[in-house]
Structure 1
Amino acid sequence: MNVATRLTWLTRVGFAVRGVLYLVIAILIARLGRAEDPGGAVQYLGAHSGILLIVIAAGLIAYGVWRLADAAFNVERHDDDAKGVAERVGAALSGAVHFLLAWQAIHLFQGARASGDSTEQGVRMALDLPAGPALVVVAGILLAALGVYQLVRAAKGSFLKHLEPRIARHPWAKWSGRLGYAARGVIFALSGWFIVQAGLEADADQAGGMAQALAWLESPVDLLVAAGLFGFGLFSLIEARFRVLRDVRVG
């Protein structure tokens, strides 16, 4: 097995890890009324098994490498138009986020404590920059736009093009993905709005990520979104096995 094939295999582990994190988020909402983001799910799982943290970190690193490779080398063969450029920028951001999650998993394994809400911390740092509030508002608008894009993907079912055709035809693949992308669209749009508010008021306490968006939702809407996130977890597990992955060329 060469290096590129090993990385592709580890990327599948990364999809599986992402799926498990979203399943945990959904279960915590439904059973405990506890709103968490992927970082919180990593912390929850790490409290039960240190070895699991290593598996999570390895999967997240491999997934992050694959996403960054897609951004840099167009592994997924995006078009050269504005949509393709946006998809590659999104891949870069996704890669960075998953590296941060892997870093958190490694630090938890080493005995470090979670450092609080990363979205709020990032906004606080951005507000200290020149034209910081304007930058925060732009970031919030972009995140909200990404949420709308997720909703469009849910409606069109365009996510199915990445699966093996024989799997993409099944309703369980279509609807788990559709519910999942719709739920993520809602969460991203809400998070974007919180960040816009933080920029407009120059107050980092107004910012919030997935956990804050889930906590803001009232019953039964939060349970409906949790069901959607559970669907996204299932779809990620489907992708771990049946997504068509092109090898990242190494060396």
Structure 2
Amino acid sequence: MRTDPSGALTTFTRLGFAARGLLYLTIGFLILRTGRTEDTSGALSVLAEGGGRTLLYVMIAGFLAYGLWRLSDAAFNIERHEEGKKGLAERGGAAASGIVHLFLAWQAIRLVQHAGSGGSSGGSGTQEGAQTALQLPGGQLMLVVAGLVLLIVGAVQLKKAWKAEFLKHLEPSVAHQPWARYTGQGGYAARGLVFLISGAFLTAAGFKEQAGEAGGMEEALTWLTSPWDSIVAVGLILFGLYSLIEARFRVINDVPVDGLASKARSKLPI
């Protein structure tokens, strides 16, 4: 029987939403239960320690499919974004999200390859990246721009939370449920705040030319004091729960795999 590659990608994309949800649930619960702050990479390591290779293989499949689906959206507008600047910005965001999730898949693959070899290396990956950037021509400007991009992303997340724009992607029967709305609003608000703090850190690192000023999610969560750290932790748990809602109820337009393959073959020289 012939399988439908588009349908298979959609199924695994839902698995990607679930994997993302599991990461954010882990980050939030670590803060509330132990006071430990981690970013998505750190949460992946924690899950690898508890769930082993089987869980990692499942998450790798999910992240790969999700990443490819988001990149396909950026390239072919399968989510039917509107024309103009807003649509282009949304497709740009889809591309960035796709790259991030492919990176998470790569990190999970590395964890599988190095299973049992000991803990992760210390130090902040964000600060190491900032240090590398500052050594390049125009590195200071690169950091400032990266920080400003994160600030914009954070503002967009807060806008989504305020207007509940995320609900348009859910099945109508679920989108009208208050529990879906409030779960998503709390999650996007917390995520937006973390992006704003991270963007401020990165922008400051660029202006001061000091890599030690840079910080990602882990540093942003560490910077928060009580009770804000707990409030944001609850918000990240809500984002994890909303990701699980999306895994089941998000309307996902199939990637026309066969059609794209046919177009590619038609352009090949005979």
TM range (shorter): over 0.9
- Of 148, 172, 176, 2:155 maps to 148
Q: TM-score, normalised by structure 2?
A: 0.90
Q: Give runs of ≥4 in structure 1 deviating > 4 Å.
A: none
* TM alignment of 1:90-129, pairs within 5 A: 90-111=93-114, 114-115=120-121, 116-129=123-136
Kindly indicate whether residue 218 of structure 2 is the aligned counterpart of residue 211 of structure 1.
yes
Instruction: Tell me which moved more, 51-60 or 105-114.
Output: 105-114
**Aligned residue for 2:4?**
2
* Residues in 1 aligned to 2:120 and 2:144: alpha-carbon distance in whole angstroms: 27
Three-state SS of the structure 1 residue aligned to 2:243 is helix
TM-aligned CA deviation for residue 87 of structure 1: 1.1
Give the letter aligned to residue 29 of structure 1: I
Alpha-carbon RMSD = 1.2
Kindly indicate whether residue 228 of structure 2 is the aligned counterpart of residue 221 of structure 1.
yes
Give the letter aligned to residue 74 of structure 1: N
TM-aligned CA deviation for residue 154 of structure 1: 0.2
**Aligned residue for 1:57?**
60
* TM alignment of 1:41-190, pairs within 5 A: 41-48=43-50, 49-111=52-114, 114-115=120-121, 116-190=123-197
1:166-198, Cα deviation, whole Å (9 max, x unpaired): 000111100010000000110000000000011
* Residues in 2 aligned to 1:173 and 1:69: alpha-carbon distance in whole angstroms: 27
Task: Report if the CA contact (8 A) 1:104-1:114 is conserved.
Answer: no
Give the letter aligned to residue 132 of structure 2: M
Structure 2's unaligned 5+ residue stretches are 262-270
Instruction: Tell me which moved more, 19-28 or 103-112.
Output: 103-112
Instruction: Tell me which moved more, 40-49 or 117-126.
Output: 117-126
Give the letter aligned to residue 17 of structure 1: A
TM-aligned CA deviation for residue 85 of structure 1: 1.0
1:192-251, Cα deviation, whole Å (9 max, x unpaired): 000001101111121111111000000110100011101100100000000000001112
Give the letter aligned to residue 143 of structure 1: L
* Residues in 2 aligned to 1:117 and 1:6: alpha-carbon distance in whole angstroms: 37
Kindly indicate whether residue 46 of structure 2 is the aligned counterpart of residue 26 of structure 1.
no
Three-state SS of the structure 1 residue aligned to 2:13 is helix
Three-state SS of the structure 1 residue aligned to 2:150 is helix
The structure number with the bigger radius of gyration is: 2
1:126-156, Cα deviation, whole Å (9 max, x unpaired): 2222211012101101101110110011000
- Of 169, 185, 192, 2:199 maps to 192
* Residues in 1 aligned to 2:14 and 2:129: alpha-carbon distance in whole angstroms: 29
* Residues in 2 aligned to 1:2 and 1:166: alpha-carbon distance in whole angstroms: 27
1:93-116, Cα deviation, whole Å (9 max, x unpaired): 111111111111111111165355
Give the letter aligned to residue 9 of structure 2: L
Structure 1's unaligned 5+ residue stretches are none
Aligned residues: 251
* Residues in 1 aligned to 2:40 and 2:218: alpha-carbon distance in whole angstroms: 9
Instruction: Tell me which moved more, 115-124 or 81-90.
Output: 115-124
Task: Report if the CA contact (8 A) 1:25-1:226 is conserved.
Answer: yes
Question: Measured at CA, do residues 98 and 114 of structure 1 come closer, stay the same or move farther in structure 2, by a change above 3 Å?
Answer: farther
TM-aligned CA deviation for residue 118 of structure 1: 3.0
Give the letter aligned to residue 217 of structure 2: M
